[in-house]
């Protein structure tokens, strides 16, 4: 499954890059993520908990992070297993930072592969809806971290716990609204 998101952060590119280059600090802004070990060489062990409607999956595994400070780009390649539910996940994420007059644009281009019970949610479009909401929470956290008056205050900022039920219903509602818009869009178009 391909997910492409473009986010804008109202901070200078050097400040945003410094946060993106600090993997343990940036990970605190990812809802449901927890780093458990820095293995060195850009390899990190950790887990990501995701609540998909009635199902909760905690993927434990590791990710390799590489970055190019001169080009302001990076890549995260990771894989994990949900031992309880038997689902597996692999991802490859490329991110690119660009300077803008109003701050920094971050483009995230991700390939996510799911297997097992979690894969059924990828087919329904629910994963894409949920990823947009999670990225929104990520951006809010990044903005708050970068706006903090001191390093100590920035260290206290982190993403909240992923609220599976409310996230599921919000995503489902967004899907319903899109369907209704398409339906009424066709109806009004047929009358003209």
Per-residue confidence in pLDDT tens, the chain, 192 aa: 777 888 888 899 999 999 999 999 888 888 888 899 999 999 999 998 877 666 777 889 999 999 999 999 999 999 988 888 788 888 888 999 999 999 999 998 888 787 777 666 655 566 666 666 777 778 788 888 888 888 898 888 888 654 443 444 444 455 555 556 666 665 444 444
Q: What is the CATH number of the domain that holds 6?
A: 3.30.530.20
Eight-class DSSP state of 154: H
Strands (E), the chain: 2-9, 33-40, 43-52, 55-68, 73-81, 88-100, 103-115
Compute the distance between CA of residue 81 and CA of residue 167 in angstroms, rounded to an integer.
Answer: 22
- Domain with 167 in it: 2-191
Q: What is the sign, positive or negative, of the torsion defined by CA atoms of 50, 180, 2, 42?
A: negative
- How many domains is the chain partitioned into structurally? 1
Tell me the whole-structure pTM to 2 decimals. 0.72
Query: Tokens representing 171?
Result: 């995503």
């Amino acid at each position: 499954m391909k997910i492409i998101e473009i986010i804008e952060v109202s901070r200078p590119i050097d400040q945003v890059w410094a946060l993106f280059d600090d993997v343990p600090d940036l990970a605190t802004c990812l809802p449901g993520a927890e780093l458990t070990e820095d293995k060195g060489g850009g390899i990190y062990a950790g887990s990501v908990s995701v609540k998909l409607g009635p199902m909760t999956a905690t993927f434990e595994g590791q990710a390799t992070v590489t970055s190019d400070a001169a080009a302001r780009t990076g890549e995260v390649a990771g894989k994990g297993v949900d031992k309880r539910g038997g689902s597996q996940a692999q991802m490859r994420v490329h991110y690119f930072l660009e300077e803008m007059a109003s701050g920094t644009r971050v483009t995230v281009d991700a390939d996510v592969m799911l297997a097992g019970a979690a894969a059924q949610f990828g087919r329904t479009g629910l994963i894409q809806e949920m990823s947009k909401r999670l990225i929104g929470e990520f951006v809010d956290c990044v903005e708050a971290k970068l706006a903090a008056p001191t390093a100590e205050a920035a260290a206290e900022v982190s993403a909240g716990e992923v609220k599976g039920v409310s996230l599921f219903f919000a995503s489902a509602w967004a899907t319903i609204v899109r369907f209704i818009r398409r339906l009424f869009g066709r109806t009004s178009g047929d009358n003209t």
